[in-house]
Amino acid sequence: MNPTSPLPPDRHHEHPVEDRGLDVGGHALASRLIVGTGRYESMTQMRLSLDQSGSDCVTVAVRRERLYDASGQNILDFIDSDRYILLPNTAGCFNATDAIRAARLGREILRTLKNPGADWVKLEVLGDSKTLLPDPVETISACRELVADGFKVLCYTSDDPVIARRLKELGAASVMPAGSPIGSGQGLLNPNNLRIILEYLKQGDPDYPVIVDAGVGTASDVSQAFELGADGVLLNTAIAHARDPIRMARAMKHAAIAGREAFLAGRIPRRLYGTASSPVEGVISTRPYGNASR
Amino acid sequence: MTIRVRVNGNEIELPTAVSIEQMIRLVDIPQNYLAVEVNAIVVPREDHGRHLIDDGDEVEVVTLVGGG
């Protein structure tokens, strides 16, 4: 290369390269992935997977203590509380009353642990144990009461735009539509509904966080959610039940970065016909069928 | 004198005038990482010493586990 010929100016200087993190419920998260802590083969596998995911926020569930088997390991011994903020969930609850009780019990544990996650909850009220689809009526009822009780509610819901809008109006700190049923690995079944949710909830409020929660099967699902404009993705089984969870956790980290960056960069429009990447002028060839553009 | 209470769905017998703190110790649960609810109301950790369990109380003792 001719050393006297200067390189073109670095266009990255014109705007910041770094994306800001995810701000939800007053908590600033460096990573846009929120990962679950369930279904791992061992606590060690979970700990290493969380590490590789790059996440700084992990979900936990509230369950009865095994009263006569106190020797079991506790998950809290395997989660570095300086590194991860805990997001307690109400998973497994099938009505608003139980979900509210679970949320308050989770808050009490996190309060005594002095974990900053004491003021928020992932609200999940299920309607059906086969599909694990959310019950919209009970979810709305629980969301209303938890918001009134001072919770920052991250609300798991279906991909129905009308319910999503209702939950935001009720004061949910984030609406978290499902890509597909929990643990199903089907990815994003209705991207158009997610587009509508993103449009509705961000209208005049572009920073309102919408997090795709549930249904992720593999890394491209995560990228797709971010490319649609989701602010975050919450997943668990796609990592925990992968053949190699630790490697899949790393894949998810890269998928989140790739998808988010692609969204910020702006994809090109889809076109029916090809457009040449190399110059059309000066090519040493004749074209079959004449000039297609005519 | 004893009372019968339900703890995490199981009926157990406890001496009368037992506090939550004493009850948790009786059933051999590590005190860390726990929250306690009596008749569907959370009892804050600070009150465990003075909150006495009554006959017929429904008690839930919970912890955190892995979840998504």
Tens digits of residue pLDDT in B16-63: 989 999 988 866 556 768 999 999 999 999 999 999 999 999 999 999
pLDDT for the residue numbered A289: 79
pLDDT for the residue numbered A1: 43
- Which residues on adjacent β-strands are paired with residue A233? A33, A212
Report which residue type is found at A13: H
Is residue A168 part of the annotated active site? The answer reads no
**Rg over CA atoms, chain A:** 23
Contact A89 B68 (CB under 8 A): yes
B8 neighbourhood in chain A, CB within 8 Å: 64-65, 67
- Indicate the residue of A36, A62, A67 with minimum beta-carbon distance to B27: A67
Disruptive mutation site among A65, A93, A105 for chain B (greatest number of B CBs within 10 Å): A65
pLDDT for the residue numbered A134: 97
Residue from B55, B14, B61 nearest B35 by CA: B61
How close B46 gets to chain A, by Cα (Å)?
9
How close A90 gets to chain B, by Cα (Å)?
9
With a cut of 70, list the residues of chain A below it in pLDDT.
1-17, 67-72, 290-294
Contact B64 A74 (CB under 8 A): yes
Burial of A240 per CB tally in 10 Å (0-12, 13-18, 19+):
buried
ipTM given for this complex: 0.94
pLDDT for the residue numbered A175: 98
Give the C-alpha separation, A39 to A238, whole Å. Answer: 10
Disruptive mutation site among A41, A59, A67 for chain B (greatest number of B CBs within 10 Å): A67
- Model confidence, pTM: 0.90
pLDDT tens digits, one per residue of A51-86: 999 999 999 999 998 765 455 678 888 999 899 999
Structure token pair of residue A188: 């994003």
Distances (CA, A) of A167 to A9, A142, A160, A239: 47, 10, 11, 28
Contact A63 B64 (CB under 8 A): yes
Give the C-alpha separation, A218 to A222, whole Å. Answer: 7
